[in-house]
Amino acid sequence: MCLAAFAIRLQSGFPPPGFQPWTACCRLPLLPPATGFHSVEHRIPLQSLDNAFDQGELRAWHERLLKVLDRADDSPLPLVGELKIDGNALALSYRHGVLERAATRGDGSSGEEITANVRTISSIPLRLQIDDPPEWVEVRGEAFIPDDTFAAINNERAARGDALFANPRNACAGTLRQLDPKVVAARRLDFFAYTLHLPDGPSPANQWQVLQWLEQAGFRVNPNRELCDGLNGIERFCDRWEQQRHQLPYATDGVVVKLNDLRLQNKAGTTQKAPRWAIALKYPAEEAPSRLLKLVVQVGRTGAVTPVAEFEPVALAGTSVSRATLHNADRIAELDLHLGDTVVVRKAGEIIPEVVRVLPELRPSDATPVQLPQHCPECGSNLVREGDEAATRCVNSSCPAILRGGLRHWVSKGALDVDGLGSKLIEQLVDRGLVGSLADLYRLDAALLASLDRMGDKSATNLVEALEASKQQPWHRQLYGLGIRHIGEVNAKALAAAFFSINSLAAAALEAPEQIAELHGIGPEISASLGQWLRTPANQQLLQNLQSVGLSLEANASEQQAASQAGADADGVLQGKTLVLTGTLPNLSRSEAKALIEAAGGKVSGSVSKKTDYLVAGEAAGSKLTKAESLGVTVLSEADLTALLQP
Ligand code: IVH
């Protein structure tokens, strides 16, 4: 796409808010950082580690290592076991012994320069405590937030009504990217050093000595480490720390095993992604038994019911857990759940609780099987499960739960983006019968709103103004806000760019659905879902009501111009490609990366599948990266993406 066309799109408000027009004009490599931090190139890239998930995989790694080292004798290899600290990697450069630059890992090739923030971490020396420091040395290690500090931060946030950090690692990453170093200082981050890059002069000969060097130079080095002869000692070390890790005041997610001898490390070398001389043995997700108390079901915006198991509270990965989703009826049947069962619960990815299995041998003799209810707990109508769908649904479009979900969706950020209309207020409006459809929102007056719980004159007036302003949101957001199945933000944009009004979209959906199915990324399933929605009389009534309260349900002149121009320029390098974004990119925010990809004709999807062309992975990329690798999907760094987008 040419820049002029991109500029027109920008004027029309097409890219998400916050996207800076001048980023497009300056061309990509000159993109200023989204967060106020500079991107810096690492002198030596930061690799990640391969993982082993059990002792068998650890042994297989050891076998491979012996093979590449081509050892003549069978004496055991000296290995170092270290705790794998669950934090954020930092690269610290010292020039003539003085901390010169601190950077995050980023994509491994370049990261964000956060020196001012890192200077506030008391376990990182500003000056190395060694005589005759080298001209340049880089120390790497893990910044982290200890558990008690994490709890205090979240308590404060809860008291202020701020969103809580999911875990200490996220809290640490968020803190390192704070613009004000005073905030960082107050959060009391900590740091364990584990690697040294000392290009000139005499260096330690092995990893054990590296750790001693770091300690002498004034760094905090984790004391829980062991130098072992061969794998047996390492396995004992791993077993011990799998048991004892919860006694530590900080989070660890495994053990890192490293070949001790640095010359042999060099000989073993690295693969593209990770060194062959080290491996991370990850702890299995922590599990705990509990007793199933009851099954509750939640009804979502689409009517899909989600069964949730409630059990006696258990402590897991640092928090108390008493609920876990069971996903759908098949999962309940698969687990063969009975009320009163002893269930084994774990936190997947240390975050989301799940029921792993039942212990039938502990089942009480009178226990009854758990089943999904036959009626919607909100409106009492029959629940149905259609065809080969996994979900069971309430199909009563006036079900209050569906209405509440639809209203929450309509006012959400990507849709009409109405400030001041949270879940509690929506609940009051629906429960008191003040709002029975999306259109009713626009008939609310300030006096009525001011009389509701926790509302005042000011908040009521603000809300009425916000609702009025939301009528000007672009057509694609209005379409997305309707909450039609399979029409997420991406599909709504594609449809709105091809059909400039609800009338033209409806005419095509009802009379020539194949025309819609042929659009890039749409397909027959989405086209059919759209047709079904538009044929439903209650939805036709809703569209009329929305128009009568002032929603246009069509593109204005500048949106039309931008979409036509984009169509004419549909020769972007990513035309027809589907990309997925994961992890934190060093320079671009998610919405900026998305806008650039879309401007080049690509589509951004939320999950990795065989249809994904590229995964763009940043720091702390997790399961999406693993899945992409297993499916053979090409993985791009931010730098790869920007290179691809070069003219
Ligand atoms: S050594 C070439 N040692 O784990 C890799 N890494 O999953 C050098 N980590 O990116 C890393 N504790 O951020 C090493 N004792 C330790 C570690 C450690 C935590 C992190 C590090 C790395 C990640 C890989």
pLDDT in tens, 204-256: 999 999 999 999 999 999 999 999 999 999 999 999 999 899 899 999 999 99
Residue nearest ligand 1's atom 9 by CA: 84
Helices (H), 339-456: 400-410, 423-431, 446-450
C-alpha of residue 526 to centroid of ligand 1, in Å: 43
Is beta strand 78-85 parallel, antiparallel or unpaired with respect to 252-259? antiparallel
* For residues 66-75, average pLDDT: 87
- Output the six-digit token pair for 465: 């103004």
Q: What percent of the chain has pLDDT over 70?
A: 93
- Output the six-digit token pair for 329: 């009826």
Average pLDDT over the chain, rounded to an integer: 88
User: Looking at the predicted structure, is the pLDDT value of residue 12 above 90?
Assistant: no
User: Looking at the predicted structure, is the pLDDT value of residue 33 above 50?
Assistant: no
* For residues 610-624, average pLDDT: 85
Please give the pLDDT value at position 135: 93
Distances (CA, A) of 375 to 240, 250, 327, 385: 50, 46, 17, 12
Helices (H), 161-230: 168-176, 181-186, 207-216
Lowest pLDDT segment from 106-110, 142-146, 259-263, 385-389: 385-389
Please give the pLDDT value at position 28: 28
5: confidence class by pLDDT, cuts 50, 70, 90: very low
Taking each helix axis from N to C terminus, what angle separates 489-498 and 557-568, rounded to the nearest 10 degrees? 90
Please give the pLDDT value at position 23: 26
Residue nearest ligand 1's atom 23 by CA: 48
* For residues 397-404, average pLDDT: 92
User: Looking at the predicted structure, is the pLDDT value of residue 203 above 60?
Assistant: yes
Tell me the best of 83, 88, 138, 194 to mutate to test the pocket of ligand 1, counting ligand atoms within 8 Å of each CB and taking the most: 194
pTM: 0.57
C-alpha of residue 133 to centroid of ligand 1, in Å: 25
* Atom number in ligand 1 closest to CA 46: 2
Residue nearest ligand 1's atom 22 by CA: 48
* Atom number in ligand 1 closest to CA 280: 7
Contact 516, 527 (CB under 8 A): yes
Tell me the best of 46, 105, 142, 195 to mutate to test the pocket of ligand 1, counting ligand atoms within 8 Å of each CB and taking the most: 142
User: Looking at the predicted structure, is the pLDDT value of residue 312 above 90?
Assistant: yes
User: Looking at the predicted structure, is the pLDDT value of residue 460 above 90?
Assistant: yes
* For residues 7-32, average pLDDT: 28
Please give the pLDDT value at position 164: 77
**How many degrees, rounded to 5, is the angle at CA 257 between CA 253 and CA 261?**
150
* For residues 288-316, average pLDDT: 94
Which residue type does 185 have?
A: A
User: Looking at the predicted structure, is the pLDDT value of residue 426 above 60?
Assistant: yes
585: left (phi over 0), alpha (psi -120 to 50) or beta: beta
* Atom number in ligand 1 closest to CA 83: 15
C-alpha of residue 555 to centroid of ligand 1, in Å: 50
Contact 301, 409 (CB under 8 A): yes
**How many degrees, rounded to 5, is the angle at CA 166 between CA 160 and CA 170?**
100
More confidently predicted of 566 and 441: 441
15: confidence class by pLDDT, cuts 50, 70, 90: very low
* For residues 188-205, average pLDDT: 90
C-alpha of residue 48 to centroid of ligand 1, in Å: 7
* Atom number in ligand 1 closest to CA 274: 2
Residue nearest ligand 1's atom 4 by CA: 84
| Residue linked to tokens 């974004």 | 581
Please give the pLDDT value at position 492: 94
C-alpha of residue 255 to centroid of ligand 1, in Å: 9
> Pocket residues for ligand 1 (CB within 6 Å)?
47-49, 82, 84-85, 89, 142, 194-195, 256, 275, 278, 280
Residue nearest ligand 1's atom 18 by CA: 84
User: Looking at the predicted structure, is the pLDDT value of residue 93 above 80?
Assistant: yes
All residues at 6 or more sequence positions from 300 whose CB lies less than 8 Å from its CB, including other chains: 306, 401, 402, 405
* For residues 61-89, average pLDDT: 93
Please give the pLDDT value at position 17: 30
Please give the pLDDT value at position 21: 26
User: Looking at the predicted structure, is the pLDDT value of residue 625 above 90?
Assistant: no
* Atom number in ligand 1 closest to CA 47: 2
C-alpha of residue 647 to centroid of ligand 1, in Å: 37
More confidently predicted of 330 and 350: 330
* For residues 157-166, average pLDDT: 79
User: Looking at the predicted structure, is the pLDDT value of residue 566 above 90?
Assistant: no
More confidently predicted of 554 and 610: 554
User: Looking at the predicted structure, is the pLDDT value of residue 6 above 70?
Assistant: no
Lowest pLDDT segment from 126-135, 438-447, 459-468, 569-578: 569-578
User: Looking at the predicted structure, is the pLDDT value of residue 11 above 90?
Assistant: no
More confidently predicted of 413 and 647: 413
571: confidence class by pLDDT, cuts 50, 70, 90: low
Question: DSSP per residue over 567-587, as a string?
Answer: HHT---TTTT-EEEEESB-SS
Please give the pLDDT value at position 24: 27
User: Looking at the predicted structure, is the pLDDT value of residue 331 above 50?
Assistant: yes
Q: Which of 84, 347, 603, 624 is catalytic?
A: 84
Contact 425, 452 (CB under 8 A): yes
Contact 58, 257 (CB under 8 A): yes
C-alpha of residue 76 to centroid of ligand 1, in Å: 24
User: Is 84 part of the annotated catalytic residue set?
Assistant: yes
Please give the pLDDT value at position 30: 30
User: Looking at the predicted structure, is the pLDDT value of residue 624 above 90?
Assistant: no
User: Looking at the predicted structure, is the pLDDT value of residue 55 above 70?
Assistant: yes
